[in-house]
Structure 1
Amino acid sequence: MNVVRKMLFVLLATAVTLSGFAEGQKDQKAATSSKTTAGTKTPITFTFFTVDATEDMPFTDPVAKKITELTGVTLKVDRPVAGDQQAIPLMIASGQYPDLIYAKGDLTLLIEAGAVIPLDDLIAKRGKYIKELYGDQIVRLRNSVKDPHIYTVGTYGVKNGIWDTDGCMQIQHAVLKELGYPKIETLDDYANALRAYMKKYPTINGQKTIGLSLLIDTWQWYIDLSNPGNYVIGFPDDGQWIVDQKTLDAQYKFLHPEMYRYYKWLNQLYHEGLLDPESFTQKEDVWKAKIASGRVLGIAYPRWGYGDARTSLIQQGMPERTYAYLPIVADKKYKSPMLKDYGFSGGWGIAISKSCKDPERAFEFLDWYCSEEAQILVNWGLKDVNYVIQNGKRVVPEKEQKWADTDPDYSKKTGVGRWVYPFPQRGTAYIDSTGNYITRTSPETIIKNYLPVEKETLAAYGKKMWIDFFPKPEELGISRHGQVWQYALPPETNAKVAEADEYIKNALVRIIMGKPEDFDKSWAKIVSDLKAMGIEEANKVVSRLIKEKVEMWSKKP
């Protein structure tokens, strides 16, 4: 009965939210009496739902205003409430859709419901910049062999430079310096460093020192609990899958015989007091506050997930409490996969719904987004405000760069970088018609923008960049299939994987907190339970999809 009541509450709340889409569309239809033509700047507002937004995103910052000035388009951004995973299914149940939708893996549900329109004809006739951006990679936007239509554009760069990394695991510069910059390559090395520093400094700034702290509250568990498990045994990020590059067969990662190693290590850390006991219950704001206090020695999370806490450390005059990025593996027989070249995977992107008030105008907007003009704007900001031209090169003034480095709200205030994801991206390695990189990221700017403490740590190890610690992309090879986490799986397979994911998340927490002497027995039960749930059937489906995708990509666009 409680479950039923809860579902009714969720449905009612979502219905109210979705009705907002309908009202927004009515308002716009009243304001826009006739269809617009290509190239027009007549004002129009598109409703845009993105499953990844975690906060309200008003389209009012300087970059957003410039986008509206150039295109006439204003976006009314909507998002799930409190990480709700049912937003897309409930949207489909209601039959009411925003104009533009970024659904990630739930794209399949929208396609099967006929909720989004194919873009093939529009691309062929009017997709000047889309064709320019994607080139021969446009085939990777196709949905599947059985349904080869293109429904989305955007989300990830087509031509990316592998010049930067957040590493597999991170540790404070202060720890490395105190310990004489030891070689830290394995999980045991990492634990030894935490152990030695915590023994010497049980408190930092008057608060208890924390060794390793995890964030696994909602979807973050995929990042902070699931992914490191395959990284430390040499497998790259394919979501919940490990893929054999020779056979292209996929396996739900927790069935792999080596996956236990990271979790057995966490079990050891937990019982020794090196792992934050609140790792399994803390919310994101609490976790970030701990990092910003300077007392968390180690994390295993990408920089994009805690950037504001890092900026806070710098603001407070504690740059030594920011992190070095390390290629940690379970033991030296493995190669860290962090610099793996995945190529362009296609997959996720922004779709135009069947309810869109003006699909041609929406397409025109997405096509413009692929242009150099748009890409420079969203990545660099406004000329002579956020960047200047010096000797033909775009340069971020020192004052502006300092603002970007020290203000957690820089992107919100300026719009720089705020409207890059999940829209089309040329990629960090793309050089535009003026000879400049299309984004602010380049090997030169990366090195230039390192903190003094980062340069000190790198110099101590005889390195110039963080990537110098890691096996090079050439050693790791280019992925033949992209990344599986970007695949749109059939709904029944998605449901099976979701069931397995929910089980494994809870099982991992229990096994990490469980008695060390029971670990092996408990891990065997996890594997047995997953097989009993039928996850091996999902292995077959994903393996087939990978092989079909590789075959489809091999054909000329």
Structure 2
Amino acid sequence: MFQRKISILLTCILTLSCLAAGCGNSSQSAGQSSDGENPASSAAGVSDEKNGSGEIITLTFFDKNTGDTFDNPVAQAITEKTGIKIEVQQPTGNPEEKLNLMLASGDLPDIVLMDRRSDIVNKYIAAGALVPLNDLIDQYGPDIREMYGDILNKSRYEDGKNYYLNNWYGLDPDPDRAICIRMDVLKELGYGDKAEKGDFFTQEEFRDILTRFRDTYSDGDGQSAIPLSSNADYMPAVISTFKAMYGMKNYYEKDGKLYFDVRDPAYLEMVKYMNGLYRDGLLDKEWAVNKEQIFTQKAGSGRVAATIGLSTDGNKLLREENGEDTDAQFYMFKVVADGTAPDETTFSPRSSLGWDAIGITVKNEHPVETIQFMNFLASEEGQYLLMWGIEGKDWDMENGKHVPRPETLQGFKDDWNAFTKETGIRKWTWFIKNGYGSDGTPYDLATKYERDAISTHALTSMADSTWDTAPYDYIGPAAGTPEALSEQKIKDIIDTAFTNMVYAESEEKVVSLYEGMIQEIDANQASAIEAIYTEKYRKQMELWK
């Protein structure tokens, strides 16, 4: 086996490490407060007498992410504190199709959770299906206002009103993407000191690592080394990772105008670099067609030195074969292009506006109680209840800090899905804020409280590479318009050209294909689409002010 052969020189282990993400508040505990009083009235504005009526109010909640019954311990604690019981609705098919059907029929739930990045949100707002939240927040949402801060300003619709609350909002500080290189390979090739410190690698150092790996290691069974591989099922992330080396973002911005990223002079240099890796046998010949399973098998075989795109299953295979040797795994690194400073790289694109939009529909007969319910869950107390569970059962407050019980942490390790379903911890991920509470502990207990060696190292190696994509949200043509069709055609042209350029037989051919791509997108009215980007971007920045 190749793995056995190269272990003579470096303990061949390939581990693709993927930081779990959540690609997204008053600091009382989730149980009784320290003096025994129920804190719900202060955090949520809800009395101990179940919204003043002594009765539980049931609200229907369409959540595209889950259809589980709202009856686990965390759910019961939420109802006890707010007087609200949730009837969760979720389709078995396509959530967006169901959302469109509900909008067309008028058969709306009380609360709706949608993909914030989808045009469905604007459809609901334009149709008058969502209640404006501004007055409700002013009267009943002090914790919402405190926790969300400027996110409320940035989430306003074009009429200046807020129609939803963001979910998984706030800029996630954890690294998102990187070039992953095996630590044992780096040490064997003389890059150990830099690697352990989490220093960046120049593009030439990276090429040297790949070249020496290719030349040093061979397989007695006939399988050659693969210096660099990628997962084609996540091609946008692959392209984004190479763009990040050059500090490129979603669009090319020049003189206050936005253009397709392919017009950035760095784009052609990026493709030339990739093409050079391919022609020199340093990039996997199947980089553009590797599916998840194939990529995982390669990652776990010991044949690969570096990867673009991460695989937890690849890690698992390596651990099964090689144990827990932390050197025999993939670590996250910045590879920095010539002329780009390390802190200018853009490896971790994150939107501070989050993943989901949660709104109150016009069919809701209890908007005040609903915003109070939202206010509690958005509060720091509510966040710890949702993400940590119940004080005295799942966690304790020690010296002013939230401390999870060992069995809680172990429950996620043993069987994540079963544990969340049984306890309710991290099951109802609503109004979630990325980051840390006032005591310095992370809201997302399951993914950020305990870190392994790889994710801890990444906080250093990938520092200053996170950037906010929110300014570029909602600046494309409206769905269903002729301009939207033109935009999609242009993107298809770019995607096809990108693959052809990387596979090109020479650098001259790369340049020729690039020039042909630019001519083709111009012939398909790229300038008109870029004008839409620029105008919408300008209006959005004005609205945010």
TM-score where L is the length of structure 1: 0.70
**AA of the residue aligned to 1:449:** R
- 1:55-99, Cα deviation, whole Å (9 max, x unpaired): 987767765565566542243334765xx9877667766766565
Displacement of 1:142 after TM fit? 0.6
Residues 1:349 and 1:530: Cα distance change in structure 2 (over 3 Å): same
Give the Cα–Cα distance (whole angstroms) in 2 for the partners of residues 296 and 66 of structure 1: 49
2:143 to 109, 123, 129: 129
2:501 to 497, 511, 514: 511
Q: Which residue of 2 aligns with 1:44?
A: 58
Give the Cα–Cα distance (whole angstroms) in 1 for the partners of residues 243 and 163 of structure 2: 31
Displacement of 1:344 after TM fit? 4.3
Residues 1:341 and 1:308: Cα distance change in structure 2 (over 3 Å): closer
Give the Cα–Cα distance (whole angstroms) in 2 for the partners of residues 501 and 488 of structure 1: 12
**SS of equivalent residue, structure 2 residue 90:** strand
Displacement of 1:102 after TM fit? 1.4
| 2:396 maps to 1:388 | yes
Displacement of 1:360 after TM fit? 5.5
Residues 1:134 and 1:328: Cα distance change in structure 2 (over 3 Å): same
1:110 to 124, 136, 149: 124
2:162 to 150, 154, 159: 150
**SS of equivalent residue, structure 2 residue 236:** helix
1:176 to 186, 195, 198: 186
Q: Which residue of 1 aligns with 2:43?
A: none
Q: Which residue of 2 aligns with 1:235?
A: 248
Give the Cα–Cα distance (whole angstroms) in 2 for the partners of residues 40 and 331 of structure 1: 67
The answer to whether the Cα contact below 8 Å between 1:214 and 1:300 also exists between their aligned partners in 2 is yes
Q: Which residue of 2 aligns with 1:140?
A: 154
1:119 to 125, 128, 133: 133
Q: Which residue of 1 aligns with 2:39?
A: none
The answer to whether the Cα contact below 8 Å between 1:500 and 1:533 also exists between their aligned partners in 2 is yes
2:472 to 464, 481, 484: 484
| 2:212 maps to 1:212 | no
The answer to whether the Cα contact below 8 Å between 2:140 and 2:368 also exists between their aligned partners in 1 is no
Residues 1:438 and 1:165: Cα distance change in structure 2 (over 3 Å): closer
1:424 to 422, 431, 454: 431
Q: Which residue of 2 aligns with 1:165?
A: 175
Displacement of 1:222 after TM fit? 2.5
Residues 1:402 and 1:328: Cα distance change in structure 2 (over 3 Å): farther
| 2:501 maps to 1:538 | no
Displacement of 1:49 after TM fit? 4.5
Q: Which residue of 2 aligns with 1:327?
A: 334
Residues 1:313 and 1:68: Cα distance change in structure 2 (over 3 Å): farther
Displacement of 1:150 after TM fit? 1.2
Displacement of 1:522 after TM fit? 0.4
The answer to whether the Cα contact below 8 Å between 1:379 and 1:440 also exists between their aligned partners in 2 is yes
Residues 1:62 and 1:441: Cα distance change in structure 2 (over 3 Å): closer
**AA of the residue aligned to 1:427:** N
Q: Which has the higher contact order (CA 8 A, sep 6+)?
A: 2
Residues 1:97 and 1:73: Cα distance change in structure 2 (over 3 Å): closer
**SS of equivalent residue, structure 2 residue 243:** helix
Residues 1:85 and 1:346: Cα distance change in structure 2 (over 3 Å): closer
The answer to whether the Cα contact below 8 Å between 1:169 and 1:325 also exists between their aligned partners in 2 is yes
Percent identity, aligned pairs only?
A: 22
Residues 1:85 and 1:122: Cα distance change in structure 2 (over 3 Å): closer
The answer to whether the Cα contact below 8 Å between 1:102 and 1:349 also exists between their aligned partners in 2 is yes
**AA of the residue aligned to 2:441:** Y
1:190 to 167, 181, 206: 206
The answer to whether the Cα contact below 8 Å between 2:386 and 2:424 also exists between their aligned partners in 1 is yes
**SS of equivalent residue, structure 1 residue 518:** helix
Displacement of 1:248 after TM fit? 4.1
| 2:88 maps to 1:75 | yes
Residues 1:404 and 1:341: Cα distance change in structure 2 (over 3 Å): same
The answer to whether the Cα contact below 8 Å between 2:167 and 2:432 also exists between their aligned partners in 1 is yes
Q: Which stretch of structure 1 is more off in the superposition, 206-215 or 527-536?
A: 206-215
| 2:521 maps to 1:547 | no
Residues 1:388 and 1:346: Cα distance change in structure 2 (over 3 Å): closer
- 1:196-242, Cα deviation, whole Å (9 max, x unpaired): 2244344599976543333343xx332222x2243121134xxx323
The answer to whether the Cα contact below 8 Å between 1:312 and 1:406 also exists between their aligned partners in 2 is no
The answer to whether the Cα contact below 8 Å between 2:377 and 2:386 also exists between their aligned partners in 1 is no
**AA of the residue aligned to 1:195:** T
**AA of the residue aligned to 1:261:** E
Give the Cα–Cα distance (whole angstroms) in 2 for the partners of residues 39 and 208 of structure 1: 73
Q: Which stretch of structure 1 is more off in the superposition, 196-205 or 501-510?
A: 196-205
**SS of equivalent residue, structure 2 residue 530:** helix
Q: Which residue of 1 aligns with 2:386?
A: 378
Give the Cα–Cα distance (whole angstroms) in 1 for the partners of residues 222 and 362 of structure 2: 58
The answer to whether the Cα contact below 8 Å between 2:137 and 2:145 also exists between their aligned partners in 1 is yes
Give the Cα–Cα distance (whole angstroms) in 2 for the partners of residues 126 and 92 of structure 1: 27
Q: Which residue of 2 aligns with 1:223?
A: 237
Residues 1:213 and 1:137: Cα distance change in structure 2 (over 3 Å): same
- 1:491-543, Cα deviation, whole Å (9 max, x unpaired): 34554433332332233223222323411100111122222222222222222
Give the Cα–Cα distance (whole angstroms) in 2 for the partners of residues 58 and 270 of structure 1: 51
Give the Cα–Cα distance (whole angstroms) in 2 for the partners of residues 385 and 208 of structure 1: 53
**SS of equivalent residue, structure 1 residue 101:** strand
Displacement of 1:341 after TM fit? 10
Give the Cα–Cα distance (whole angstroms) in 1 for the partners of residues 434 and 88 of structure 2: 23
**AA of the residue aligned to 2:335:** I
Aligned length: 478
TM-score where L is the length of structure 2: 0.72
Give the Cα–Cα distance (whole angstroms) in 1 for the partners of residues 147 and 166 of structure 2: 10
| Structure 1 unmatched runs, 5+ | 1-35, 456-464
**SS of equivalent residue, structure 1 residue 105:** coil
Residues 1:321 and 1:79: Cα distance change in structure 2 (over 3 Å): farther
Residues 1:307 and 1:390: Cα distance change in structure 2 (over 3 Å): farther
**AA of the residue aligned to 1:234:** G
Give the Cα–Cα distance (whole angstroms) in 2 for the partners of residues 313 and 69 of structure 1: 46
**AA of the residue aligned to 2:162:** I
**SS of equivalent residue, structure 1 residue 171:** strand
1:276 to 284, 292, 311: 284
The answer to whether the Cα contact below 8 Å between 2:70 and 2:85 also exists between their aligned partners in 1 is no
Give the Cα–Cα distance (whole angstroms) in 2 for the partners of residues 405 and 342 of structure 1: 26
The answer to whether the Cα contact below 8 Å between 2:178 and 2:347 also exists between their aligned partners in 1 is no
| 2:458 maps to 1:466 | yes
Residues 1:47 and 1:345: Cα distance change in structure 2 (over 3 Å): closer
Displacement of 1:172 after TM fit? 2.0
**AA of the residue aligned to 1:119:** L
Residues 1:43 and 1:550: Cα distance change in structure 2 (over 3 Å): same
Give the Cα–Cα distance (whole angstroms) in 2 for the partners of residues 216 and 68 of structure 1: 44
Give the Cα–Cα distance (whole angstroms) in 1 for the partners of residues 243 and 366 of structure 2: 44
Flag the structure with larger Rg.
2
RMSD of aligned Cα (Å): 4.3
Give the Cα–Cα distance (whole angstroms) in 2 for the partners of residues 289 and 468 of structure 1: 29
Residues 1:496 and 1:341: Cα distance change in structure 2 (over 3 Å): closer
